Amino acid sequence: MKKQFIYILLGFLFIGNLSAQQTPAPKQKEAFSIEGATAHLGNGTVIENSLIMFSNGKLDFVGSANSRIARKGTIINGKGKHVYPGFIAANTSLGLAEIDAVRATRDFDEVGGYLPHIRSIIAYNAESKVVETMRPNGVLMAQITPRGGTISGTSSIVQFDAWNWEDAAMVFDDAIHINWPSSFSRGRWWLGEDAGLKPNKTYPEAVDKIVNYIKDAKNYLAGDRTPKNLPFEAMEKLLNGKQKLFVHASGEKPITDVINIFKKLNINNLVLVHAEGADKVADLIKDNNVSVIVNRAHRLPNSEDEDYDLPYRTAKILTDKGIVVGLGMEGDMERMSTRNLPFYAGTYAAYGLGKEEALKLITSNTAKILGIDNQVGTLEVGKDATLFISEGDALDMRTNIISQAFIQGRKISLETHQTKLWKRYSNKYQN
């Protein structure tokens, strides 16, 4: 019996080893020089026939290949190819769930309504097979965000080549997330009510509850803090301006209320998430220096009187108003669909935004919104060498073919479970 137990245990260890993510790349030891590629810097600038050099995980030179400067280390021929900064996925629950149908793998939603002390980072699975599939499309970083409740908890920012959540984290607890109530509700058809939209009678009460909770947290932190209240303790960084607040809200009235209420509460590090209907109050958003994380473009209009293509044009409308706009991934199949992040940006590009402006949605703009623009988001000297080389336009799924990728200067593997299966079955009928 003892031997049988040992054999079973060894079998589980073997299977677990087979299903684990690739071993993370070691720290960069040799320098790299990418020469001749078209460099998309992520800030709107494009350098044809570029030279990009990096060592010790940092970018040393970004400029023209015509520059008379000695090349460093391994030289990569980039002629005919494109170089991009690593893409950043905002507002995603990547790594917090593996299989939706298996409850034990879902760690994105905790029990309770007001949970500012819940930290998504400690539940992040660095060996997730879903996370692994992001890298072949150039998605190399993400804001890992909890879901559920009124105050869901705190997000953290990670890079996608790590042994564990401690190694993955770029920024711990970057923001607290609040799910703002809707000013409209739908009738409960199963109770015989009209299924159409109608004013939400509980909206004022729900808003007051959020406001009072924040005021109570302020009073607690200003007092002797007894008895100890962990949720209120977790609000301290937000209330002293060292942490951002991401409010998930849509509709003209909710967006207007969010901006005005938090302004009165002296919470200024505000970011709107979803913000459907933001085009109607864009001036208010701009005047209050609020950034916006928009939804994926591939969705239907919210109401019958909206243009059919409004979801595709939202990013351009807000960008033209001078608002800093990023692209989030919350929604159906969000973890698996995050690999398509560049193609969602490409859709916004096709509807008036333009390629380089659309690129900002998942590079420099998102980095600025998340507060990591001093590290990543653009190809600039001194920033992390987190970048990739594509055979063509990385926002087009037909030409987004990545040959090499680097995270903090480390050359990472682009193999996934899917690429292994593709290689396996592509040889099936060759003989």
Calculate the dihedral angle through the C-alpha atoms of 239, 244, 249, 255, rounding to the nearest 10 degrees: 70
Q: Are 325 and 279 in contact (CB under 8 A)?
A: no
pLDDT at 429 over 90: no
Beta pairing class for 184-186 and 197-199: antiparallel
pLDDT at 16: 44
Mean pLDDT of 364-378: 98
Contacts with 136 (C-beta within 8 Å, 6 or more apart), sequence order: 339, 402, 414, 416, 419
pLDDT at 6 over 70: no
Cβ atoms within 10 Å, residue 132: 23
Percent of the chain with pLDDT over 90: 77
CATH numeric code, 19-84+384-431: 2.30.40.10
| Segment among 189-193, 366-370, 418-422 with least mean pLDDT | 189-193
CATH numeric code, 87-376: 3.20.20.140
For residue 184, the surrounding DSSP H or E stretch is strand 184-186
Residue ranges covered by each domain of the chain = 19-84+384-431, 87-376
pLDDT at 12: 42
| Alpha-carbon torsion (174, 244, 325, 334), positive or negative | positive
Banded model confidence at residue 194, pLDDT cuts 50, 70, 90: confident
Would you call 226 helix, strand, or coil by DSSP?
Answer: coil
Q: How deeply is 24 buried, as exposed, middle or buried, from its count of CB atoms within 10 A (0-12, 13-18, 19+)? A: buried
Separation between Cα atoms, residue 171 and residue 289, nearest integer Å: 23
Mean pLDDT of 375-397: 97
Q: How deeply is 135 buried, as exposed, middle or buried, from its count of CB atoms within 10 A (0-12, 13-18, 19+)? A: buried
Q: Are 221 and 206 in contact (CB under 8 A)?
A: no
pLDDT at 97 over 90: no
Mean pLDDT of 181-208: 84
Give the DSSP per-residue string, 267-320.
---EEEEE-TTGGGGHHHHHHTT-EEEEPPS-S--SSTTS-TTHHHHHHHHHHH
More confident residue, 127 or 143: 143
Q: How deeply is 184 buried, as exposed, middle or buried, from its count of CB atoms within 10 A (0-12, 13-18, 19+)? A: middle
Residue located via tokens 């819940």: 118
Per-residue model confidence as pLDDT tens digits over 303-358: 888 888 999 999 999 999 999 999 999 888 888 899 999 999 999 999 999 999 99
410 closest CA partner among 135, 103, 50: 135
Per-residue model confidence as pLDDT tens digits over 26-58: 999 999 999 999 999 999 999 999 999 999 999
Backbone angles phi, psi at 157, to 5 degrees: -110, 130
Cβ atoms within 10 Å, residue 201: 8
Separation between Cα atoms, residue 309 and residue 288, nearest integer Å: 27
pLDDT at 10 over 50: no
Banded model confidence at residue 101, pLDDT cuts 50, 70, 90: low
